[in-house]
């Protein structure tokens, strides 16, 4: 099959969507398929933000990447781009002649996908990665009517697709409330289970030495943004410190809430306990996972959380919040749940795990086993079946 993937987020932007579709493309190519990306063009500043040289991602001869002109746009990653839709880009798609179009987001590039599918009569699959209600805050319009309009637009957009997926049921629950009607199913984003693995005790100690981490280290990697609620973990850390004075909280990533987070860390007297590493390449990120002990997530915007699944794959127990998709992935065999925003309860669970190493090990092993369900190979095989089914439906 020749598969055209349209996305408003892509390399080098820090984004779970980007990571997901890149992993998917790599695996589909192994199965003999061709993949063509239509994605925004990013500036030199965007590449520098990720600590990367400005050159195109090389995914092999069977993957082509077409960059669409874009302008800067407000977003939590500080790298977001907006593609202004045109009436002619479908002609480029016509030359490629894909068997199916797979759209990831509802913005400028997503509208290009709708246009191409309509004009060329190509089957269209949509994936909704986003709980839109949490991201409307980044819009320049804050009126209540706009929120209502945006949620209905989201449902309208995916009603234009022949088949729709999302990584969790909570996404569909919200969409149905706003008029979504199309055939749909939950399918996870893929994770690289070949890279994200538990480390041996020797590797764990080497990583702790490399990153200067104590024996009790909590970890959060990802965007540093308001909806991620990292402040909840920091407040929990202050309580944990009373019982475990040398506790560390390692953070990897960047985002527009970093300066506010640093102020809170300083106010709570946690400067020596918190280590912020910025954006890391994959091998370094894997080593950091392996050097940490507990993964914590307090986000109220997750439709899955790629980094949480990476943590599980690396054998880390999870302490998360009972919000949106997190309880769909955190269970009694891989982690512990607390109510959203309850930093005292989160601190209690973290202390419990640090003081019960057998439970930490049990949950870590359970998480590693659970994460194998979402390997890139397993998810790509599912996508193969979906693409074939939708193509057959349209004939």
> Residue 126 — pLDDT band, cuts 50, 70, 90?
very high
Does 311 fall in a domain? yes
pLDDT, residue 139, reads 67
Q: Select the more confidently predicted residue: 216 or 139.
A: 216
Distance CA 30, CA 314 (A): 24
Say whether both 146 and 279 belong to one domain.
no
Confidence of residue 140 (pLDDT cuts 50, 70, 90): low
Say what the pLDDT of residue 73 is. Answer: 84
Asked if pLDDT for residue 134 goes beyond 80, the answer is: no
Residue 139 domain flag: yes
**Crossing angle, helix 258-267 and helix 230-243, to 10 degrees?**
20
Distance CA 52, CA 89 (A): 28
Q: At what angle do helices 306-313 and 357-371 cross, to 10 degrees?
A: 110
Residue 196 maps to a domain: no
- Domain assignment present for 367: yes
Is 281 found in the same domain as 154? Answer: no
Q: Which tens digit of pLDDT belongs to each residue from 146-183?
A: 788 889 999 999 999 999 999 999 999 999 999 999 99
| CA distance readout (Å), 345 to 140, 233, 234 | 35, 11, 13
CA-CA distance, 130 to 202, in Å (whole number)?
39
pLDDT classification of 50: cutoffs 50, 70, 90: confident
Largest pairwise CA distance in the chain: 65
Per-residue pLDDT, averaged over 46-50, amounts to 85
332 found inside a domain = yes
> Pairing between strand 71-72 and 81-82?
antiparallel
Whether residue 259 sits in one domain with residue 249: yes
Neighbours of 121 (CB within 10 A): 9
- 368 lies in the same domain as 380: no
Q: Looking at the domain assignment, is residue 108 inside a domain? A: yes
pLDDT at residue 76 tops 70: no
Tokens of 221: 């990697």
pLDDT in tens, 311-355: 999 999 999 999 999 999 999 999 999 999 999 999 999 999 999
Q: Are residue 315 and residue 225 in the same domain, yes or no? A: yes
Query: Chain-wide mean pLDDT for the chain?
Result: 94
pLDDT of residue 56: 95
Angle between the N-to-C axes of helices 16-30 and 376-394, in degrees from 0 to 180, rounded to the nearest 10: 80
Q: Do 142 and 163 fall into the same domain?
A: yes
Structural domain including 332 reads 201-373
Tell me, what's the pLDDT at 245?
98
> Looking at the predicted structure, is the pLDDT value of residue 191 above 70?
yes
Asked whether residue 150 falls in the same domain as residue 12, the answer is yes
**Helix, strand, coil tally for the chain in percent (to 5):** 45, 15, 40
Per the CB < 8 A criterion, the answer to whether 379 and 187 are in contact is yes
Q: Is residue 195 part of a domain?
A: no
Distance from chain centroid for Cα 63: 22
The rounded distance, in Å, linking the Cα atoms of 305 and 99 is 30
Domain count, the chain: 2
Q: 366 and 232 share a domain?
A: yes
Whether 240 shows a pLDDT value over 80: the answer reads yes
Q: What is the rounded average pLDDT of the residues 230-256?
A: 97
Q: How far is CA 226 from CA 36, 74, 103, 357, 358, in A?
A: 33, 13, 26, 32, 34
Quick one: pLDDT band at residue 87, thresholds 50, 70, 90? confident
CATH no. for residue 110? 3.40.50.2000
């Amino acid at each position: 099959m020749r598969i055209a993937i349209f996305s408003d987020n892509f390399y080098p932007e820090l984004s779970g969507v980007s990571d997901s579709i890149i992993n998917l493309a790599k695996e589909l190519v192994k199965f003999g398929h061709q993949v063509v990306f239509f994605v925004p063009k990013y500036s030199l500043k965007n590449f520098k933000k990720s600590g990367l040289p400005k050159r195109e991602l090389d995914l092999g001869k069977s993957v082509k990447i077409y960059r669409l002109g874009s302008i800067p746009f407000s977003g939590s990653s500080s790298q977001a781009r907006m593609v202004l839709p045109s009436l002619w880009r479908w002609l480029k798609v016509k030359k490629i002649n894909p068997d199916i179009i797979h759209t990831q987001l509802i913005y400028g590039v997503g509208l290009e996908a709708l246009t191409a599918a309509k004009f060329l009569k190509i089957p269209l699959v949509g994936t909704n990665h986003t709980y839109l209600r949490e991201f409307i805050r980044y819009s320049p319009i804050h009126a209540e009517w706009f929120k209502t309009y945006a949620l209905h637009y989201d449902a309208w957009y995916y009603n234009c697709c022949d088949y729709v997926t999302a990584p969790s049921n909570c996404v569909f629950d919200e969409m149905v409330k706003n008029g979504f009607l199309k055939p749909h199913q939950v399918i996870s984003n893929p994770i690289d289970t070949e890279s994200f693995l538990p480390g041996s005790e020797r590797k764990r100690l080497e990583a702790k030495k490399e990153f200067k981490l104590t024996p009790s280290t909590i970890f959060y990697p990802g965007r540093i943004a308001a909806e991620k609620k990292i402040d909840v973990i920091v407040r929990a850390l202050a309580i944990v410190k009373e019982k475990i004075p040398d506790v560390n909280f390692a953070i990897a990533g960047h985002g527009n809430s970093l300066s506010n987070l640093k102020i809170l860390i300083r106010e709570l007297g946690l400067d020596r306990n918190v280590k912020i590493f910025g954006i890391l390449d994959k091998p370094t990120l894997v080593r950091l996972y392996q050097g940490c002990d507990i993964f914590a997530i307090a986000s109220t915007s997750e439709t899955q959380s790629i980094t949480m699944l990476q943590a599980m794959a690396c054998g880390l127990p999870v302490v998360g919040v009972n919000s949106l998709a997190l309880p769909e992935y955190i269970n009694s065999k891989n982690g512990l749940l607390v109510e959203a925003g309850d930093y005292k309860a989160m601190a209690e669970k973290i202390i419990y795990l640090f003081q019960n190493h057998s439970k930490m090990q049990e949950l870590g092993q359970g998480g590693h086993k659970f994460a194998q369900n979402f390997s890139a190979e397993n998810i790509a095989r599912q996508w193969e079946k979906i693409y074939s089914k939708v193509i057959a439906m349209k004939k």
